[in-house]
Amino acid sequence: MKNKSNRIDERLIETLADGQFHSGQALADALGVSRTAINKHIDNLDALQLDVFRVHGKGYRLAQPLQLLKFDLIREQLREHQAPIYLKRVTSSTHDDLKQLLVDAPGKTLTPGTCVLAEMQTRGRGRRGRTWLSPFGSNLYASFYWPLPEGLNSALGLSVAVGLRLAQILEQAGIQGVSVKWPNDVYIQGAKVAGVLVELEGEPTGEGHALIGIGLNLSMPERFTQNIEQPYTDVQKHLDAPLNRHQWAVTLIRGVTDVLEQFRRHGLADLVTEWRRLDHFYNQPVNILLGQHVQQGVGQGIDNYGALLVRQGSGLKRYFGGEISIR
Ligand code: BTN
C-alpha cells in the first residue's frame, strides 16, 4: 500500500516537474485517482519540502521546474560502468542504502564501484556529525562502494583523491576559482560547493571496504540556504547556461570511479602536485584546530599518504586530523 502511495507521489512529481499549472482534475485523471487523493498526495510533496503553489481556478504548480534524474538515461550513458547503479527518489542517506545492499548481498560484498544516487536525502550526513542539506531534485547525492583488500590502512589519502577529482571536474566545466580544502572539501571562490564523506568498515590490515559519499551542490533552492552557516555556493551560480543534471551525474560517476581505480593502482603519487595547484592553503598562514588546541603554521600541501603538511618554524609537520583554516 505504501509503495503504491509512493509511486503516485513520484508520478505526481514527474507531472509537476515542468513547472506549469495542472488542475486537480487533470492530475486525478492522469494518475487514475480521485480528486481527494490528489490533495493528499500534494500534502506528501509538502512534506518533501517541494514548494507547491496552489492557485484557485488554476490548480497546482511547483515553484521551480525540476530536472528529474532518469535512471535509463544515466545507465545508457555509462555503458562502461560495470557495477550496478541505483537511483532512489527519496532516501534517508545513500550511505544507508549502500550499507543495506551490503547486508543483503551474498558474501556481504558488492561489485567495486556500486553506486547509489538519490534525488533527496532526509538524513544526509556530513563529516564530523554534521547534517548535509539534501533537498529534492536539485543537487547530487551519491555513495560508492569500494573494496580495500589490503585493509583499511590502504585507504589513507582516498578521500583526498576523490575531493581533488571533484575539483578537476568543476574546472573542466569552465568554472574559475576552484580550490580544495584539506582533507576533501571543494570550494569555488572561497565558498563550499561539494564535500566527501568516507566511512571505512573492516580491519586495519585485514580485508575491508570504503563507502564514499559525495554531495555536490548543483542548484540549491534559495529557501534552503538561509540557515547554512559557512560560505556556500552551487555550480549553477558559476555557469552562464542552465546546467544539465544528467550530464553532471554521469560525469561525477565516471570521474569518481576513474579516480578510485587510479588510487588503487598508484595511490596519491601522481596527485600530490596537482593538489598543490588547487590547494586553498598552499603557502598560506593557517590555524590547525586539534580538539581544544590551535596550532599555527604555513600550509605546504599534502604528502603521498594524504597527510596535511604544515611548516612550523624550521620543521615540517604532518597532520592526519584536525580542522584547518586561514589565519
Ligand atoms: C562533508 O561534510 O563535507 C561531506 C558531505 C557528504 C555528503 C554526502 S551526500 C551523499 C552521501 N550520503 C550522505 O548522507 N552523506 C554523503
Gap from CA of 213 to ligand 1 centroid (Å):
5
Is residue 123 classed as helix, strand or coil in its secondary structure?
A: coil
- Give the pLDDT of residue 107: 86
Gap from CA of 259 to ligand 1 centroid (Å):
18
In this structure, the residue with its CA closest to atom 2 of ligand 1 is 126
* Interacting residues of 267 by C-beta distance below 8 A, sequence separation 6+: 157, 304
Please tell me the distance from the alpha carbon of residue 7 to that of residue 305, in angstroms, as a whole number.
Answer: 46
Which pTM does this prediction carry? 0.94
> Taking the mean position of all CA atoms in its chain, how far away is CA 2?
28
- Give the pLDDT of residue 207: 86
Residue 193, all three cell numbers: 560547493
Residue 243, all three cell numbers: 546546467
Q: Cell numbers 500500500 correspond to what residue?
A: 1
- Give the pLDDT of residue 230: 84
Strand 315-319 and strand 85-91: the pairing is unpaired
Please tell me the distance from the alpha carbon of residue 235 to that of residue 233, in angstroms, as a whole number.
Answer: 7
* Interacting residues of 20 by C-beta distance below 8 A, sequence separation 6+: 61
Q: Which atom of ligand 1 is nearest to the CA of 93?
A: 14
Q: Which atom of ligand 1 is nearest to the CA of 127?
A: 2
Strand 85-91 and strand 115-121: the pairing is parallel
* Residue 244 to residues 14, 74, 138, 269, 320, Cα–Cα distance (Å): 17, 12, 11, 33, 37
> Taking the mean position of all CA atoms in its chain, how far away is CA 74?
16
Whether 157 and 267 have beta carbons less than 8 Å apart is answered as yes
- Give the pLDDT of residue 327: 92
Whether 309 and 316 have beta carbons less than 8 Å apart is answered as yes
Any atom of ligand 1 within 6 Å of the Cβ of 159? no
Residue 310, all three cell numbers: 604544515
Q: Cell numbers 598552499 correspond to what residue?
A: 282
> Taking the mean position of all CA atoms in its chain, how far away is CA 102?
20
Angle (CA) 18 75 17, round 5°: 10
* Residue 100 to residues 103, 107, 209, 291, Cα–Cα distance (Å): 5, 13, 14, 33
pLDDT per 10-residue tile (average), the chain, 327 residues: 80 95 97 95 92 94 94 96 95 97 92 97 93 94 96 92 98 98 95 96 88 96 81 96 96 98 94 96 96 95 96 96 92
For ligand 1, mutation pick of 86, 141, 230 (most atoms within 8 Å of CB): 141
> Which ipTM was obtained for this model?
0.99
Please tell me the distance from the alpha carbon of residue 134 to that of residue 115, in angstroms, as a whole number.
Answer: 17
- Give the pLDDT of residue 108: 86
User: Which domains, ranges and CATH numbers included, belong to the chain?
Assistant: 2-62 (1.10.10.10), 71-272 (3.30.930.10), 281-326 (2.30.30.100)
For ligand 1, mutation pick of 87, 214, 217, 228 (most atoms within 8 Å of CB): 214
- Give the pLDDT of residue 1: 52
